[in-house]
Amino acid sequence: MIVVSDLDGTLLDSDHRLSRENRRTLVSLGEQGVVRVVATGRSLYSARRVLDDAFPIDYLVFSSGAGVVEWASKDLILAHHMTSRDALSVAAFLMERRLDFMLHHGIPDNHRFYFYRAGTGNPDFEERCVRYGAFAQQWPESTPQLGRVSQLLAVEPADTASQFDDIAGTFSNHKVILTTSPLDHASRWIEIFPATVSKGIASRWLCARLGLDAAHTLAVGNDYNDIDLLEWASCACVVANAPAALRGSYRNVPGNNADGFSRAVADWLKPDPW
């Protein structure tokens, strides 16, 4: 059996803390032999800012499935990258569309990035550049010399028309994921990964590696980048603070500030779950 939960807005409360109830639930799952997985859009560096070494999980799926870490040992057991040629092709398209974006270095250093400012005014983009200023480098005038690339991330203000469909259609040989900004909770983040990347794909890979039956899986999420994960799991639910479109498609549990994760687990462990 395996439980996979999104992190921010799902397992953690709005102050990025693990409640006592959710901690008890994770500990109890471990005692019962259930594999506990956090699947987050955060990079490994960013995830470790909110997860201490004793955080009661077995695996961390980070960067929306681009990497997987065995939590007790901190061993990196899976990493996906795109070629520099593919990355520069995506970058050229985003520049042509006048989108602000970041191009992230390879795992495990994918908290480092080049940023390209289209000059249209984008507070959420600027906030991310400031927040990770120590790891951010402005896009050079000449083509940057790239090593491994983990992803690109375009930031769209909430009051603009989205170009997500065009990007996803143009780069159908990649994984293009839409999520809500965790900074202003309104802007759209469009993440472009290799085709082998998603939370659901990483969870499926982990099940196969561990020899677990995918028929006994629970996924808990709160945003659009969780859809692949929710579709993969045999039982799936979203917290009450998820967008209405997701609440209408999956079983609902209380919000992330009301221990919705623990409710989902309790219902799943009943003799006759939903």
- For the chain, 274 residues long, the average pLDDT of each consecutive 10-residue run is 96 96 98 97 94 96 96 97 94 96 96 92 95 94 86 95 96 94 94 95 96 91 94 96 95 97 95 71
| pLDDT attached to residue 252 | 97
| pLDDT attached to residue 266 | 96
Global pTM reads 0.90
Q: Which CATH superfamily is domain 2-80+197-268 in?
A: HAD superfamily/HAD-like (3.40.50.1000)
| pLDDT attached to residue 214 | 80
CA distance 88 to 170: 14
| Neighbouring-strand partners of residue 113 | 104, 136
CA distance 201 to 209: 12
| pLDDT attached to residue 273 | 66
| pLDDT attached to residue 147 | 87
| pLDDT attached to residue 176 | 96
Dihedral (CA of 128, 113, 196, 264) sign = negative
| pLDDT attached to residue 274 | 67
Peptide bond into 243 cis (omega under 30): no
53 burial type by CB count under 10 A (0-12 exposed, 13-18 middle, 19+ buried): exposed
Question: Helices marked H in 48-172 — which ranges?
Answer: 84-96, 123-131, 164-170
Q: Which CATH architecture has domain 84-194?
A: 2-Layer Sandwich (3.30)
Question: Helices marked H in the chain — which ranges?
Answer: 20-31, 44-47, 84-96, 123-131, 164-170, 199-210, 227-232, 244-247, 260-268
Domain ranges of the chain: 2-80+197-268, 84-194
Provide the token pair at 95.
């520049």
| pLDDT attached to residue 152 | 97
